[in-house]
Amino acid sequence: MNDPFPYKISVIIVNYNVEFFLEQCLNSVYKALEHVTGEVFVVDNNSIDGSVEMVNKKFPNVHLIENKENVGFSRANNQAIRISKGKYVLLLNPDTVVEEDTFSKVVSFMDDHPEAGALGVRMLDGKGKFLPESKRGLPTPSVAFFKIFGLSRLFPRSKAFGKYHLGYLSEFDINEVDILSGAFMLMRKDALDKVGLLDEDFFMYGEDVDLSYRIQKAGYKNYYFPDTRIIHYKGESTKKSSVNYVFVFYRAMAIFAGKHFSEKNASVLSFLINIAIYFRASMAIMARFVRRSSLALADLSFLIGGMYLMTNYWKVNGIEFPADLIAYAIPMYGVIWLISVLFSGGYDQPVRMRTYFTGVAWGLIFILVIYGLLPKEWQFSRLFILISATWVSLYYLVSRFYLHFAVGRRFSLAPIKNKRFAIVGSSDEFKRISELLKQTGSRLDAIEMVSPGNEKEPGAVGTINQLDQIAHICHINEIIFSARDNTAGTIIHWMSAIPSSRIDFKIAQPETMFLIGSNSIETAGDLYVLNINSISRQEKIRAKRTLDLLLSIVLICSSPFILWVFGRKTSFLSNLFNVMKGSRTFVGYCLSDNDRNMELPRIKKGILTPMDVISIQDETLADKMNLIYARDYSVRKDISILWKAWRKLDR
C-alpha cells in the first residue's frame, strides 16, 4: 500500500523581496532536513530583488513557484499546500533561522501527540530577545479591547489583561494555546484537509489567527513548544509604525470577528476596531510628526522668540522697529536659518556642531543677499541681522550641549567610536569576514578572532565557550558568527545568553558577500555589503530630492519655451511631473539583469542613467556604473549626467 505521505514535513516559504534573508533561511532549513525527510517550497510573490535567480542557482532542489503578481500570504501558501506531500505542513517566514534539530523535535512531538493539530515554537528576535507573539490567546472583544488600548502592554502578566500574548504563561514551558504565529506554524496535513486551507480574504495579517481558531474548533489542540528556538528578524516586510500597517492589521481583525463571532460580539468588536483604526492611525501620524518635527519646531520658536526679545531691548533704547519687520521679516529669518541648518545636516544623526555653524553661515549669506535686493525703504538694519546670526549660533551651541548632557543617546556630541568586532569562526573564515568588514567601510577599532571549537586556534583570543567573557573583557560591540563553522543552535544559544543591550549580532553565510542581522523587533535587518551606500545617506537623499524638486519646477515653468526641443512632448511633461511628486528621479540606475543581485541601495526609477553619458552599451559595464554611482554619489554627478544627456528627458 502506498504511503499517502512520502515526506514527514513540507516546508513552505512565501518570499517577497528579501533575497539575503531567504538564502540564510534556506541554508538553515536544509541543515534541519538532514534529520527528517522533507520537501521545500518557495512561493515568490513577484520579487524584483534577485530572489528567484538566487533560489534557482543555489537551491535547485527547491520547488519554486513564481507568481507574476503579489497574491498575498494566504493565497501563496495555499498554492504550495495543495501540492505538498508531507505528513506535516510548515509555514515558515523567509526572515527566520531554524536550529538543526528543530524539525526533528517538532515532528517527534506531533507524532507523540495525535490530538495536536498545529504547533508553534519559541521565537527570538535578532538580538536574542523572546518574541511574545510566539504564543497568543483568542482575540475576543475583551482581549482585543485590552490589546487595542494598550492595557495588555501595561499589564503583560495579568490573566485579565495579558491574554493577547498569554504573558502569564512561561515562555519556557509547553502549553496549549489558542493562536500560533504564521512565521512558524506547523500543521498536521490531515487537520488541514478537515478544516480547509488559509482564508484568502486575509491578504497579509490575520490568516494565522483564523486558521489556528478553525483547527481548534475542529477538535484539535494548538501547542506552544519552546524546546526548540528560531530567530525571527521581525519587521522585514512591514513597518509597524506605519499608518498602512494599522489599517491592514485591524481590518484583518474585523474580518476575523465577522467570520467567527456572533453577530452581537462581531458588531461590538467591529465597533472597537473601527475606533482603534482611527485612534491608532492618528496616534501613528502624530507620533511620527512629533518624532520628526518636535525638535525643529522647538528650535524655530526659540530662534524667533530670541529675535523678538532683541527688538524689545532696542525699543527700550529708543530705536523703533518697523511693524513689517516684526510681523514678517523676523519669522522669515528664523525659517531661513532653520532650513539652512536642516540642509547642512544639523538634524541628522550623529550630531555634529560644525553642521549648525555651517547652516547659520549659509542662512546669513542668503538673508544678506535678499536684504541687498530689497528697496531702500524696506531695508532696516544689517547690524540686527548680524546680531541675530550670533544669537542663532549661540542658541544651537547651548541647546545642543544641554541635550548632550541632559538626554544623551541620539543627541550625544561625542564622536562616534570605532566598533570592536568578534568573529566566531575558523582562521580562513575569520580572514574572509574581516576583509568583507573592511570593504563595507565599517568603523573598525579591532577585530578579534574566536575559535568555534574547544581548541584555541593560533591568533584567536579564546574559544566560543569563553564568548561571554571575551565580549566583556575586549569591549566587543558586535559579534559575527560564521554559519559554516557554527550550528544555528549554537548561534541562537549565545545570542540569548549574552546580555544584548550593547552588543549586536550578525551571521555570515558561507561563500556570500553579506552579513545579516537585526537590532530589534522594531527595525529591519541590518545588512553589511560592499560599501555602496553613499547614495542612501540622509544628506545625499535630501540633496538628490532637492535637486529633483527644484529642477522639475524650473523645467515645468520653462516648458512653454523648451517643449519644442523634445520629440515626445507628452513623455517629457509626464516625466517632469512624476519627478516633482517624487515617484521618479532624474538620474537612477542603469537597467540590467545583473544589478538586482548586487543589492544596491534603493532609489526611485530614473529617467536618465549613468550609461547615458557613454557610447558603449554593455551589461557588465552597466553593473559597474551602477556600483560607482551608488558608491560615489553626489549632486554634482547628477548635474553632470543631466547636462550631457538632457535631450533624453522625454524617453
Q: Using DSSP, state whether 400 is helix, strand or coil.
A: helix
Q: What confidence score (pLDDT) does residue 616 get?
A: 59
Residues of the chain with CATH 3.90.550.10: 7-135+171-235
Q: What confidence score (pLDDT) does residue 264 get?
A: 59
Strands 184-188 and 419-424: unpaired
Assign 425 a pLDDT band (cuts: 50, 70, 90): very high
Which tens digits make up the pLDDT trace of 341-377?
A: 988 888 887 788 888 999 999 999 999 998 888 777 7
Q: Using DSSP, state whether 528 is helix, strand or coil.
A: strand
How many residues in the chain?
651
Which tens digits make up the pLDDT trace of 270-286?
A: 666 666 666 766 766 67
What's the rounded Cα separation, in Å, for the pair 60 and 198?
27
Which tens digits make up the pLDDT trace of 130-140?
A: 998 899 887 76
What's the rounded Cα separation, in Å, for the pair 212 and 118?
7
Assign 209 a pLDDT band (cuts: 50, 70, 90): confident
Please give the C-alpha separations between residue 448 and each of 418, 472, 492, 513, 581, in angstroms, as whole numbers: 14, 13, 20, 20, 48
**Most confident stretch, 98-107, 560-569, 599-608:** 98-107
Query: Does pLDDT of 28 surpass 90?
Result: yes
CA dihedral (260, 264, 268, 273) positive or negative: positive
Query: Does pLDDT of 236 surpass 50?
Result: no
What phi and psi, each to the nearest 5 degrees, are found at residue 505?
-125, 145
Q: What is the DSSP string of 464-529?
A: GGGHHHHHHHTT-SEEEEETTTS-HHHHHHHHHHS--SS-EEEEE-TT-S-EEE-S-TTSPPEEE-
Average pLDDT over residues 122-127: 90
Classify residue 286 as exposed, middle or buried by CB count within 10 Å of its CB (0-12, 13-18, 19+): exposed
Average pLDDT over residues 69-94: 93
What average pLDDT is seen over the chain? 83
**H or E element in which residue 67 lies:** strand 63-67
Average pLDDT over residues 476-497: 92
Look at residues 19, 127, 18 and name the one whose alpha carbon lies nearest to residue 479.
Answer: 127
Classify residue 416 as exposed, middle or buried by CB count within 10 Å of its CB (0-12, 13-18, 19+): exposed
**H or E element in which residue 252 lies:** helix 243-260
Alpha-carbon dihedral 372, 376, 377, 382, rounded to 10 degrees:
50
Q: What confidence score (pLDDT) does residue 122 get?
A: 96
Query: Does pLDDT of 635 surpass 80?
Result: yes
Q: What confidence score (pLDDT) does residue 166 get?
A: 83
Q: What confidence score (pLDDT) does residue 579 get?
A: 92
Choosing among 3.40.50.2000, 2.60.40.420, 3.90.550.10, 3.40.228.10, the CATH entry for 7-135+171-235 is 3.90.550.10
Q: What confidence score (pLDDT) does residue 509 get?
A: 87
Q: Tell which wins on pLDDT, 599 or 335.
A: 335
Query: Does pLDDT of 409 surpass 90?
Result: no
Average pLDDT over residues 439-460: 85
Query: Does pLDDT of 308 surpass 90?
Result: no
pTM of the model: 0.70
Q: How far apart are the first and last CA of the chain?
A: 64
What's the rounded Cα separation, in Å, for the pair 169 and 158?
10
Q: What confidence score (pLDDT) does residue 189 get?
A: 95
Amino acid at 372: G
Query: Does pLDDT of 525 surpass 50?
Result: no
**H or E element in which residue 122 lies:** strand 116-124
What's the rounded Cα separation, in Å, for the pair 168 and 304?
53
Average pLDDT over residues 645-651: 89
Query: Does pLDDT of 60 surpass 90?
Result: yes
Average pLDDT over residues 314-327: 68
Q: What confidence score (pLDDT) does residue 10 get?
A: 97
* Helix residue spans in 330-466 (DSSP H): 330-343, 353-373, 382-406, 427-439
Q: What confidence score (pLDDT) does residue 285 get?
A: 66
Q: What confidence score (pLDDT) does residue 622 get?
A: 74
Instruction: Give, in degrees to the nearest 5, the angle at Cα 72 between 514 and 69.
Output: 80
What's the rounded Cα separation, in Å, for the pair 227 and 522?
25
Share of the chain above pLDDT 70, in %: 80
Q: Among all chains, which residue has been given the C-alpha cell 541620539?
A: 410
Residues of the chain with CATH 3.40.50: 419-531
Q: Using DSSP, state whether 567 is helix, strand or coil.
A: coil
Q: What confidence score (pLDDT) does residue 629 get?
A: 80
CA dihedral (420, 424, 430, 432) positive or negative: negative
Q: Tell which wins on pLDDT, 582 or 49.
A: 582
Assign 82 a pLDDT band (cuts: 50, 70, 90): very high
Query: Does pLDDT of 594 surpass 50?
Result: no
Grid coordinates representing 287?
A: 507620533
Q: What confidence score (pLDDT) does residue 352 get?
A: 84
Q: What confidence score (pLDDT) does residue 61 get?
A: 95
Q: What confidence score (pLDDT) does residue 520 get?
A: 40
Q: What confidence score (pLDDT) does residue 93 get?
A: 93
Least confident of 105-114, 269-278, 462-471: 269-278
Q: What confidence score (pLDDT) does residue 306 get?
A: 92
* Domain formed by 419-531, architecture: 3-Layer(aba) Sandwich (3.40)
Query: Does pLDDT of 289 surpass 60?
Result: yes
Average pLDDT over residues 506-531: 62
Query: Does pLDDT of 32 surpass 90?
Result: yes
What phi and psi, each to the nearest 5 degrees, are found at residue 268?
-65, -50
Q: Tell which wins on pLDDT, 304 or 206.
A: 304
What's the rounded Cα separation, in Å, for the pair 143 and 492?
32
Would you put residue 75 in left (φ > 0), alpha (ψ -120 to 50) or beta?
alpha
Q: What confidence score (pLDDT) does residue 440 get?
A: 61
